[in-house]
Structure 1
Amino acid sequence: MKLALPLLPALALLATCLALPAQAQRADTLLVDRAKASKSLDNAPVRGTTMAQVEARFGAPTQKLEPRGGQQPQWPVIHRWVYPDYTVYFERSHVIDVVARQASPREIGPKPVE
């Protein structure tokens, strides 16, 4: 009986350690599920579209952020246009990515661009 008593705290610690990654995984899955279920990106610009085509189809963005990069030839200039539901990223003048914006102001997510 004395040998089994020290095993109980060790088993409890092991069970706790095994449960933590499962909880973290559930939170990640929910975030991924929310992003996949988002309808805002269904009608968003696609990769390769030019700036002129994006503005003609989706209208003027609510904000055009300052370009970044371009200090070296291997660092292309990246432009960012903000729309209500997403931000469009351009390398030089072509879409390279579209990222969904926060669902609400209270949502925890990336820090706003300054």
Structure 2
Amino acid sequence: MFLALALSTGLLLQASPASADTLLVERVRAESGDMPARGQSMAQVEKHFGAPQRKHAPVAGPGDRQHNPPITRWDYAGFSVYFEHSHVVDAVAAKASPNEIGPKPVQ
């Protein structure tokens, strides 16, 4: 029994990520105070963060606007902001480096 426990512990230690890896989730938690908050208007976001690097055209799903509202994305250097109509629904951090583990940036 002791041998089985020692072997399983050794296997778990080998499966852990390298200490040099930076997790996107950890960085986002640390930087979350420096991104737009849910519910802010486009005007508030632009006043606080300046003009975005790129404004994407609104995209709406099929059918009526009530159930598929237009979603607009603004890209800044370190994050993207998603708006439903003219209010923030989410802000998503971009990868800081190629070594950061997390989603790939949208091309």
**Is this a same-fold pair by TM over 0.5?**
yes
Q: Shift of residue 49 of structure 1?
A: 0.9
Quick one: percent identity of the two aligned structures? 52
Structure (1/2) with the larger helix percentage: 1
Q: State the structure with more CA Rg.
A: 1
- In structure 2, give the amino acid aligned to 1:99: V
Structure 2-normalised TM-score? Answer: 0.68
The within-5 A match list for 1:22-61 is: 23=16, 31=23, 32-38=25-31, 41-61=32-52
Structure 1 alignment gaps of length 5 or more: 1-7
CA contact (8 A) 2:95 2:104 kept: no
For these two proteins, the number of residue pairs brought into alignment is: 99
Residues 105 and 15 (structure 1 numbering): CA distance in 2 closer, same or farther, change over 3 Å?
closer
RMSD, aligned α-carbons: 3.1
Structure number with higher relative contact order (C-alpha < 8 Å, ≥ 6 residues apart): 2
Measure, in 2, the Cα distance between the counterparts of 1:79 and 1:109.
23
Normalization by structure 1: what TM-score? 0.65
4+ residue runs over 6 A deviation? none
